[in-house]
C-alpha cells in the first residue's frame, strides 16, 4: 500500500480543514515545498496536492506551488482541486503533476471526464469519489449530490477508471479513524469478475494512528492519503519511513 501524504493549499500555504469546512482552516506551514521536502527525506515517494482555492474558484490557481514542488523534489504528485477544462489539465501536467484527480467534473461533465480518460489513460486520471453519508459531494465539498458512492464508482470502473480516491467527509480532519467498513464494501462492490484487476482504491479521511495503516492494507486499499495525523504528530515520519522500508 502506497503512503501518500497530503498538502492542501490556500493562498500558497499548507493548511488543513475539518470536514472540508473552509472556516476551520489551520495553517501548518507557509512553505508547501519545505513540507514536501520533509516527506521526501523520509523516503516517501508520493504526494497528494489539493488546490483548495482552485476547488472554490472552479479553475486551477495554485499551479506555481505544484511546479515548485515538482522541480525541487522527485515526488510523484497527484493534483486536484478545480480542474474543469482541458486547459486546467494542461497547466497541471505542464506544472509537473504525475496524475490529476477529477471529482466534481466527473459528476457535472461526465463527457469531459471520459475524454480525459481516453486522451491521457487511466494511469493519469484519478476519480475523486468524495462522499458524505455515502452521497457524492462536489465543488470542494460545498455541494452534495444525490449520487451514491458505490454505484458511482462502479459506473466509472466500467468506463475504464482504475484509480479512485474516496474521502469520507464526515471523517476528514477529525482524527477519529477512517471508514474501514465503507472501503471494504467499495472493494467488494467493485470487484469485477470480467477483469482480473479490481479498482485501485486510495483511502482518505480520518487517519489518526499508525495502527490503522496495516488494517487498510489488509482490506486491499492500494494507497492511503494522510494529512492532519502527520501535521498533528499523531503519526511520525519515522514510522512511515519504517513502514515503507519493511513492507
* DSSP bridge pairs for 50: 8, 80
Task: Give residue-wise pLDDT tens across range 11-23.
Answer: 999 999 998 889 9
**Residues with a known catalytic role:** 8, 130
Q: CB–CB of 1/222 below 8 Å? A: yes
Q: What is the pLDDT of residue 247?
A: 75
pLDDT at residue 173, rounded to an integer: 84
- What pLDDT does residue 46 have? 98
- Write down the pLDDT at residue 225: 98
Tell me the whole-structure pTM to 2 decimals: 0.95
Instruction: Give dist(CA 220, CA 227) in Å, integer.
Output: 20
| Structural domains present in the chain | 2-246 (3.20.20.70)
**What is each CA distance from 18 to 6, 64, 100, 214, in whole angstroms?**
14, 25, 23, 24
Q: Dihedral, CA atoms, 58, 93, 5, 137, nearest 10 degrees?
A: 30
C-alpha cell at 108: 457535472
Q: What is the pLDDT along the chain (247 residues), one digit of tens a residue?
A: 999 999 999 999 999 999 888 999 999 999 999 999 999 999 999 999 999 999 889 999 999 999 999 999 999 999 999 999 999 999 999 999 999 999 989 999 999 999 999 999 999 999 999 999 899 988 767 677 889 999 999 999 999 999 999 999 888 888 899 999 999 999 999 876 555 568 999 999 999 999 999 999 999 999 999 999 999 999 999 999 999 999 7
pLDDT of residue 192: 65
Amino acid at each position: 500500500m502506497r503512503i501518500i501524504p497530503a498538502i492542501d493549499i490556500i493562498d500558497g500555504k499548507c493548511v488543513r480543514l475539518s470536514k472540508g469546512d473552509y472556516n476551520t482552516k489551520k495553517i501548518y506551514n507557509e512553505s508547501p515545498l519545505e513540507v514536501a521536502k520533509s516527506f521526501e527525506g523520509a523516503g516517501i515517494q508520493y504526494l497528494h496536492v489539493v488546490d483548495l482555492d482552485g476547488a472554490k474558484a472552479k479553475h486551477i490557481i495554485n499551479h506555481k506551488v505544484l511546479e515548485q514542488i515538482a522541480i525541487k523534489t522527485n515526488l510523484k504528485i497527484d493534483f486536484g482541486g478545480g480542474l474543469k477544462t482541458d486547459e486546467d489539465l494542461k497547466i497541471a501536467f505542464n506544472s509537473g503533476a504525475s496524475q490529476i484527480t477529477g471529482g466534481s467534473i466527473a459528476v457535472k461533465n461526465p463527457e469531459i471526464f471520459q475524454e480525459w480518460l481516453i486522451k491521457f489513460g487511466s494511469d493519469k486520471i484519478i476519480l475523486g469519489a468524495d462522499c458524505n453519508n455515502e452521497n457524492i459531494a462536489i465543488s470542494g465539498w460545498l455541494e452534495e449530490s444525490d449520487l451514491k458512492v458505490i454505484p458511482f464508482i462502479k459506473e466509472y470502473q466500467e468506463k475504464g477508471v482504475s484509480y479512485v480516491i474516496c474521502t469520507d467527509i464526515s471523517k476528514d480532519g477529525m482524527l477519529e479513524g477512517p471508514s474501514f467498513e465503507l472501503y471494504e464494501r467499495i472493494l467488494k462492490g467493485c470487484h469485477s469478475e470480467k477483469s482480473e484487476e479490481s479498482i485501485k482504491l486510495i483511502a482518505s479521511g480520518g487517519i489518526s494512528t499508525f495502527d490503522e495503516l496495516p488494517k487498510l492494507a489488509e482490506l486491499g486499499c492500494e494507497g492511503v492519503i494522510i494529512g492532519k495525523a502527520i501535521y498533528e504528530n499523531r503519526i511520525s515520519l519515522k514510522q512511515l519511513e519504517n513502514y515503507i522500508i519493511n513492507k
